Structure 1
Amino acid sequence: MAMMPRMELRQGQSLVMTPQLLQAIKLLQLSHLELQNFVEGELERNPLLERNDEAGEMPLANGGSEGAHAADQASYERAESLNTQEGMEGRLGTGLENVFQNEQPQIARLDTRGADSLPITGGAYGGSGGSFEDGPEGFESSLTAELSLHDHLAAQLDLAVASPAERLIGRHIIDGVDDAGYLAEPLADIAVRLGVDEARVEQVLRIVQGFDPSGVAARDVSECLAIQLRDRDRYDPAMQALLANLPLVAKRDYTALKRICGVDDEDIADMVAEIRSLDPKPGRAFGGSAAETVVPDVFIRPAPDGSWLVDLNPDTLPRVLVNQTYHARVSRAARNDEDKAFIAECLQTANWLTRSLEQRARTILKVASEIVRQQDGFFAHGVEHLRPLNLKTVADAIGMHESTVSRVTSNKYLTCPRGVFEMKYFFSAAIAATGYGEAHSAEAVRYRIKQMIDEESPAEILSDDAIVTRLKTNGIDIARRTVAKYRESLRIPSSMERRREKLAMAGAGR
């Protein structure tokens, strides 16, 4: 058969990730602070977007028929699943105006008494807008610039050192101090860079190590603690020996420490207590980025009838509007095709952003509502009633893809009467039950292990095997290595180390 080129017409379906669809997916996994920064950038770039700071319900995007919206929601979900694959090809012919369902925003009332239905009431976009004001009344205006560790040390250097050469060396030493307060750069490197003797750099380092905070510019933990002990006039030979054997302190091997330091039970207990009172990271009170306060994205509140109210936090929902009046005015003033294309692109981008924000809010609410439904025992009775839960269970229940649920629960928090929790906290592996009982959440099992160890007495320290036996008595089928892994994740020492510590504390109490 001869090989020859020919033209064929084929019909098929394929999907491509358009920039707008990629943007909508990306918005799902952003925290509210990242989302606000993104929206701020769009407000600066797009003249048709403006803030909507008025209280009340967030306006919904206009859309087509109900069937079209349902079909395009499926396209959104397909895009979510394909976003985890590589080598996507084809084109997506869905119009921008029909991408998301035109459903109303919600407050979900979840009945914790076993009802299968999920009644929906109210609106979730009420309340005041986010803090986008540039005026002096903003929270930021009440903050003062935080003094960095480097600035704090440099100010002391200017007062302590008069020689320009030594001041230059001191500046390079300070530049090598990290946020924890340790000198991260070797003295030899500083000496080579400046062309001076290492002994001279060492001399200036001793001056810097005398600065506030005590222990700064140390090269390791032992040196950091030694500097602080010298400031307290407590760096005697016994303390020096103790600092040289910090691994034994971590293991709570007080018998070996007493022998090495040449002290008795009471002295070793006092020495260890003093070591623990020191600050191993003296620089953490300075510099670095300001700690961010966790702002919950979802509020969980009990209702009088025993159900739970799930409400979005309006302060984490940036509200933007498309200024149709300004669009009409600039459209009439457009003189050439380039201006018209720019205006059309701005309108398209603005409409897509508003729909993406609405869809993001609805998706967060759906996922949070299903988490509350699945973990109602936790919200009502505490962590011991946390159930095993995975992404697929929630995804199947709300008709979404697992990747969507994963993105929604990343960097999102909810607050309830028991505190503030990251949404991913409620997804926990299952620990099998003995017999035919219901499986247990790994997080609940960790809590039980910690509770057992907290309640143990010095005369009866629980080994990992003993914990396994007790858990099996309570219907939890768990292996010893799993208990050890959970105990280590809780930073709880082994039974031998706990016994040494408690015996030493009991001896010191006498």
Structure 2
Amino acid sequence: MAISQRLEIRQGQSLVMTPQLQQAIKLLQLSNVELAEFCEQELEKNPLLERDDNPAPVAGEAEAPPQAEAGPAEALDRELSREDFSKCADMDATGEDRYSDGEERGAVSAAPNEPLTDWSTVKSGSRYEGDEDLLEATVADGGTLKDHLLDQLAIAALDPEKRLICVSLIDAVDEAGYMRGDLAEVAERLGADITTVEATLKVLQGFDPIGVAARDLAECLALQLKEKDRFDPAMEAMVAHLDLVARRDMAGLAQICGVDSADISDMLAEIRALCPKPGMMFATEPVQPVVPDVMVREGPDGGWMVELNSDTLPRLLVNARYYANVSVKARDKDAKTFLTECLNNANWLVKSLDQRARTILKVASEIVRQQDGFLTYGVRHLRPLNLRTIADAIGMHESTVSRVTSNKYISTPRGLFELKYFFTAAIQSMDGSESHSAEAVRDRIREMIEREEPREILSDDRIVALLTADGVNIARRTVAKYRESMRIPSSVERRRLKSPENRDLAPH
């Protein structure tokens, strides 16, 4: 066969992963906190972007059960079309195009100030005078455990060598107040004798709060008991066998400690009064409250109204007037190129934020429609649900739904939930009827155990029998897995905990 050269023309379609498309994918899965940080960075980098400080316009509310068509909006540019955005959002992490023919197609867009239509329900959040001062007072920096220990070290009567060792030991104390460093490594790093390091640790363990710098829970409790002069041989034996304390093995503790059950009860009460994490009383990083991305409330006609939380939506504008003024004065090619890139990036970001909001609202509305029984009657009516069901209902790909539901929260009359909470596995029924949600079955197991009598503790086999009688086809290992995930002890441990001699010792 002769080898020859020839020219061929082939036509095909491919999706180029431009930086803008990668950014659009990234925006879908960002939480509202991460999105705010991202927008702040873009505001600093792009001079054509500015924050819209005007109050958010109120859009017409939409009910979740019926699905509405997209409202009228101006078409996107061909390069930034909705189709391209959807295809981009439906690519997996490897860059493979998994865009299917069933994907939603249609070009919709909105100007930066244009309210979201049809699917959106945006309302301005109320803010009262003095809220900022109250927040600042709440999360005011009150000093860390390390600062507190260093202040005590400054007035401690230690020689320079031990003072240097103590500083290294303080650095190895975690937020809970425990010593996480290896004394041998500290001694080797500082070139000190191990006995000197151990002696310095004893000094550090005498600092406030009592129990700090302990190497484990037993040592932490022992330090506090010694401070109260209650570390007698019986208490020492109990602290050395905390596993029996956790199991409330009264007989075993009485035998090891050499005292009667009345003394064991008093000793357990003393241990419960101690602080297992002495460092937690000091200030740590302030806990950021979860802010819902979507809010659901009951409508006047009995349906469910779904709306975006406008406080979590960044409102950015493209300053076209500034661009017009600067571009006229730009003479050099690099300056014109920079301005053009800034304009394109700003327009793309604004449109991507708008598309992100619409997609979140669309997915959340379908979830509410699917789980209306949960909102009305509670967790027992939570239906089995997966990503494909939502994706097929709204005409998007599973990867898009997965990204949208990541790190997003919804506020409902029954509480605040992550969107992924509503996706639960299905457990088959005995009679072949509708499957049961795994979360609903978990709740039934929890309720059974809470209502069990001390004289009739339910074993896992007994729970399986009760659920089977109610039409739930479940295995014993599944019941054990659900019970352990809820941190519920086994039937043997619960029988010991609920025994008459232990029931009165339970912490209130």
2:83 paired with 1:74: yes
Please list the CA deviations of residues 4-47 of structure 1 after superposition, one character each: whole Å capped at 9, or x if unmatched.
34332211011121111110110111111111110000000000
Please list the CA deviations of residues 149-188 of structure 1 after superposition, one character each: whole Å capped at 9, or x if unmatched.
2111111111223422222111010011122221111111
Counterpart residue number, 1:391:
387
- Per the alignment, in what secondary structure is the counterpart of residue 245 of structure 2? helix
Counterpart residue number, 1:13:
13
1:293 maps to amino acid: P
| CA 274–360 in structure 1, closer or farther in 2 if over 3 Å, else same | farther
Aligned residue pairs, count: 483
Unaligned runs of 5+ in 2: 60-70, 99-104
Q: Is the 8 A contact 1:370 1:394 kept in 2?
A: yes
Q: Is the 8 A contact 1:53 1:129 kept in 2?
A: no
| CA 237–140 in structure 1, closer or farther in 2 if over 3 Å, else same | same
Q: Is the 8 A contact 1:449 1:467 kept in 2?
A: yes
> Structure 2 CA distance, aligned partners of 1:507 and 1:317?
52
Counterpart residue number, 2:124:
127
> Greater shift after overlay, 156-165 or 20-29?
156-165
> Structure 1 CA distance, aligned partners of 2:426 and 2:467?
15
Q: Is the 8 A contact 2:56 2:310 kept in 1?
A: no
2:151 maps to amino acid: A
> Structure 2 CA distance, aligned partners of 1:222 and 1:39?
48
Q: Is the 8 A contact 1:225 1:275 kept in 2?
A: yes
| CA 99–347 in structure 1, closer or farther in 2 if over 3 Å, else same | farther
| CA 286–3 in structure 1, closer or farther in 2 if over 3 Å, else same | farther
2:40 paired with 1:44: no
Counterpart residue number, 2:53:
53
2:250 maps to amino acid: Y
Counterpart residue number, 2:255:
259
Counterpart residue number, 2:108:
101
2:205 paired with 1:196: no
> Structure 2 CA distance, aligned partners of 1:191 and 1:253?
40
Counterpart residue number, 1:505:
502
> Structure 2 CA distance, aligned partners of 1:359 and 1:78?
13
| CA 10–153 in structure 1, closer or farther in 2 if over 3 Å, else same | same
Please list the CA deviations of residues 381-401 of structure 1 after superposition, one character each: whole Å capped at 9, or x if unmatched.
111111111111111111111
> Structure 2 CA distance, aligned partners of 1:471 and 1:343?
66
> Structure 1 CA distance, aligned partners of 2:275 and 2:137?
32
TM-score, normalised via structure 1 length: 0.87
> Greater shift after overlay, 350-359 or 428-437?
428-437
> Structure 2 CA distance, aligned partners of 1:266 and 1:418?
45
CA RMSD, Structure 1 to Structure 2 (Å): 3.0
Counterpart residue number, 1:210:
206
2:437 paired with 1:441: yes
- Deviation at residue 252 of structure 1 after TM alignment: 3.5
2:304 paired with 1:297: no
- Deviation at residue 139 of structure 1 after TM alignment: 4.8
| CA 141–448 in structure 1, closer or farther in 2 if over 3 Å, else same | closer
| CA 150–252 in structure 1, closer or farther in 2 if over 3 Å, else same | same
Counterpart residue number, 2:75:
64
- Per the alignment, in what secondary structure is the counterpart of residue 33 of structure 1? helix
Q: Is the 8 A contact 1:129 1:314 kept in 2?
A: no
> Structure 2 CA distance, aligned partners of 1:100 and 1:258?
76
Q: Is the 8 A contact 2:109 2:355 kept in 1?
A: no
Identity of aligned residues (%): 55
- Deviation at residue 277 of structure 1 after TM alignment: 3.8
| CA 360–507 in structure 1, closer or farther in 2 if over 3 Å, else same | closer
Q: Is the 8 A contact 1:46 1:346 kept in 2?
A: yes
- Deviation at residue 250 of structure 1 after TM alignment: 2.9
- Per the alignment, in what secondary structure is the counterpart of residue 309 of structure 1? strand
- Deviation at residue 87 of structure 1 after TM alignment: 6.8
- Per the alignment, in what secondary structure is the counterpart of residue 147 of structure 1? coil
Alignment of 1:352-371 (within 5 A): 352-371=348-367
> Structure 2 CA distance, aligned partners of 1:184 and 1:105?
54
| CA 349–443 in structure 1, closer or farther in 2 if over 3 Å, else same | same
2:344 paired with 1:348: yes
Unaligned runs of 5+ in 1: 90-97, 108-119
- Deviation at residue 100 of structure 1 after TM alignment: 5.6
Counterpart residue number, 1:95:
none
2:489 paired with 1:478: no
2:381 paired with 1:372: no
- Deviation at residue 360 of structure 1 after TM alignment: 0.9
Q: 1:466 aligns with which of 446, 462, 484?
A: 462
Please list the CA deviations of residues 195-232 of structure 1 after superposition, one character each: whole Å capped at 9, or x if unmatched.
22111111111121122222211111211121222233
- Deviation at residue 493 of structure 1 after TM alignment: 0.6
- Deviation at residue 454 of structure 1 after TM alignment: 0.9
Counterpart residue number, 1:308:
304
| CA 57–6 in structure 1, closer or farther in 2 if over 3 Å, else same | farther
> Structure 2 CA distance, aligned partners of 1:160 and 1:440?
64
